[in-house]
Amino acid sequence: MNKKVILALDNLDLGTALSISNQVKDKLLTVKVGLELYNLAHKTGIKKFNDIGFNNLFLDLKLQDIPSTIYRSILALKEIKFGYLTVMALGGNEMIKQAKKAANELDPNIKILAVTILTSLKNELSKMGFSSSVEDAVVQLAKNSSEADGYVCSALEAKLLREKVSKDKLIFCPGIRMPGDSKDDQARSASPALALQNGADACIMGRSLLQGDVSKNIEKVLNSIK
């Protein structure tokens, strides 16, 4: 995996998202379509990313439901060509197994990524019933998601997953910010360089890249991780 940056198309309308993506597609691993854009554009709109060359779309839908519903929900995505899809680790390994089954029926190359603890969370875990630290919770959720092809976690836990869970599975890290950028609603953030140093395969970046000249912002990131 030579390209290390995934552009998150958050807070954009479909036309703008397509235009920006087409301009910078040669610099990216892929683009991330989250729940907001997916709900706005629906399948017919999201398919337009395939038309401009993104057949490895990252669908960050964070699916969580009973296993049979997840299986059918993923099969319902069949008109879209995508390479990555997120499910919530809290859904359990049987759910992830059914997600993998459905993905394999669509395309054996699709990777199912288990989202561990959202990067917007830090101090709330105890209120949610977790007795462990964020780090331990991420590791345990990843271990319990063994059917997944990889994980989504903050860069701060990526090294732990490499050491304690898997040296080979994919790790995508959101909440990535360049030094000096606003963290916005990210409670556990890190720079692209630190994310890759800690074992991430790709950095997911949205607002830091979309503010201003997107192409120049991506070049700045790429220069920081050479």
Two tokens, residue 92: 């359990």
Q: What is the pTM of this model?
A: 0.92
Q: Which domains does the chain have, with CATH numbers?
A: 5-224 (3.20.20.70)
**Residue 41 clears pLDDT 70, i.e. is over it:** yes
Closest-CA residue to 145 (of 90, 85, 81): 90
* Contact between residue 5 and residue 22 where contact means Cβ atoms under 8 Å apart: no
Structure-token match 């910010």, residue found: 177
Q: Higher confidence at residue 61 or residue 226? A: 61
pLDDT, one tens digit per residue, over 26-36 is: 999 999 999 99
Helix (H) or strand (E) holding 23: helix 14-24
Q: Is 62 a catalytic residue?
A: yes
Handedness of CA 144, 194, 6, 1 (dihedral sign): negative
Give me the catalytic one of 62, 101, 122, 143.
62
pLDDT, one tens digit per residue, over 191-206 is: 999 999 999 999 999 9
Which residues on neighbouring strands pair with residue 151, listed in sequence order?
114, 171
